[in-house]
Amino acid sequence: MLDESELTRVLVVTAHPDDVDFGASGTVAGWVDAGVAVTYCVVTDGDAGGFDPSVPRSEIPVIRRREQVAAAAAVGVTDVRFLGYRDGELTVSHGLRRDISRVIRQVRPERMLIQTPERNWERIPATHPDHMASGEAAIQAVYPDARNPFAHPSLLDDEGLEAWSVREVWVMGHHTLTHYVDITENFPRKLAALRAHESQTGHLEDLEGFVRGWNARTAEAAGLPEGRLAEGFFVSVMPG
């Protein structure tokens, strides 16, 4: 794994607004506190989400973008980018690979955080079809696309974006966790980020209890003392 002293930029790629906040915002808060520049790239606008039928569907994309920007601010992230794909219809297309590769070349991160492209049978909601498509497109953008100067030639020829090699990939929602982050001190910020997604979490009677229990079980699996909270990831170090 990367020495944390080498880490200056992280790019997070998720399918929907709120995905990063459920899965990794406590970890993200720690990176920001350490001086790391974190960028969010959200593939869809979450236009199939929400629980209030009185809200016109045409308003959902604007609401969910606004909520994600507010949630990002709760953990110190100010660079939030949206690709505008349709929620519920995501596929691993050449265009999506190119669009993620573009952001990789713009941000030039040492580390990327993505969603698992594999079905997690123990946590089905973590592997929504859009999540898996986002994860698969993201890892294809990491390897081979973004590092290959001859892939997606318009990125270099028309936009002047040089190839970039991501050094490490963290995967959330994976069925095998190889690395844990203690988020106990940053849990209030994670909770604030989740509460910013009012259209998605406002109907939950005990959001804090649900999330705290989830992160407590992860901490227990990590072998942390009772009372601690954690997020878990599968980490892959990329070839040079």
Give the count of beta carbons closer than 10 Å to the beta carbon of residue 209: 10
pLDDT at 226: 96
Measured in residues, the chain has a length of: 240
pTM score of the predicted model: 0.96
Question: Residue 240: is its pLDDT beyond 90?
Answer: no
Instruction: Round the CA-based radius of gyration of the chain to a whole number and report it.
Output: 17
User: What share of the chain has pLDDT > 70, as a percent?
Assistant: 100
pLDDT of residue 57: 83
Q: For residue 54, is pLDDT > 90?
A: no
Give residue-wise pLDDT tens across range 6-50: 999 999 999 999 999 999 999 999 999 999 999 999 999 998 887
Looking at residue 228, what is its pLDDT?
98
C-alpha separations of 153 from 13, 56, 98, 164, 217 in Å:
22, 40, 10, 14, 46
Domain containing 9 equals 4-237
CATH number of residue 214's parent domain: 3.40.50.10320
> Over the stretch 189-233, which tens digit does the pLDDT of each residue have?
999 999 999 999 988 899 999 999 999 999 999 999 999 999 999
pLDDT at 194: 98
* Per-residue pLDDT reduced to its tens digit, 125-167: 888 999 999 999 999 999 999 999 999 999 999 999 999 999 9
Position 239 scores a pLDDT of 82
Q: How many domains does the chain have?
A: 1
Cα distances from 226 to residues 192, 213, 215, 217, in angstroms, run 23, 12, 12, 10
User: Would you state the pLDDT for residue 51?
Assistant: 76
Is residue 183 pLDDT above 90, yes or no?
A: yes
Preceding amide of 109 cis, omega within 30: no
58-103 confidence digits (pLDDT tens)? 888 999 999 999 999 999 999 999 999 999 999 999 999 999 999 9
Question: Which pLDDT score is estimated for 49?
Answer: 81
The whole-number pLDDT of residue 69 equals 98
